[in-house]
């Protein structure tokens, strides 16, 4: 009985850690994609000056494709999410 209880606590801990890792990976991803894809033309500061929501970021990133940005749909939404999450409230 005692070991079952420890096992359940262990399982909850594992699930919790997995959720944390997923959240961190997501946040880091958008930033990484930005550094890899956007910084060649302009800085992160320029982007962070803009107060856009996720939808406006998606359309801005779409417009950047016209300047020669190569980005996948997944990467674009990661960047949009990252930049929208950086908005000053
Ligand atoms: C090939 C070069 C290039 C790449 C790559 C690029 N941009 Fe741009 N970006 C530009 C140019 C040129 C301008 C200025 C012209 C304009 O605003 O129409 C600009 C302007 C901007 C602006 C200010 C204008 C606005 O509409 O708010 C933002 C914000 C921006 N880019 C974000 C991004 C993001 C985010 C990425 C990466 C996903 C990116 N850019 C990748 C060339 C690029």
pTM above 0.85, yes or no: no
Q: Is 46 helix (H, G, I), strand (E, B) or coil?
A: helix
- What distance in angstroms lies between residue 67's CA and the mean position of ligand 1's atoms? 8
pLDDT for 8: 94
Average pLDDT along the chain, 89 residues, taken 10 residues at a time: 89 91 68 92 89 94 96 92 83
Q: Return the H-helix or E-strand segment holding 79.
A: helix 73-85
List of residues 6+ apart from 22 with CB closer than 8 A = none
Q: Any residues with Cβ below 6 Å from ligand 1, and which?
A: 34, 37-38, 40-42, 47, 50, 60-61, 64, 67-69, 71, 79
Residue 80 CA, closest ligand 1 atom number: 35
- Please tell me the distance from the alpha carbon of residue 11 to that of residue 14, in angstroms, as a whole number: 5
Q: What are the residue boundaries of the structural domains of the chain, listed by start?
A: 2-85
């Amino acid at each position: 009985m005692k070991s079952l209880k420890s096992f359940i606590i262990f399982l909850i801990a594992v699930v919790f850690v997995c959720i944390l890792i997923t959240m961190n990976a997501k946040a880091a991803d958008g930033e990484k994609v930005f550094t890899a894809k956007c910084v060649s033309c302009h800085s992160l500061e320029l982007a962070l000056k803009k107060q856009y929501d996720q939808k406006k970021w998606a359309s801005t990133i779409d417009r950047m494709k016209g300047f020669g940005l190569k980005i996948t749909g997944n990467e674009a939404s990661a960047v949009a999410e990252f930049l929208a999450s950086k908005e000053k409230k």
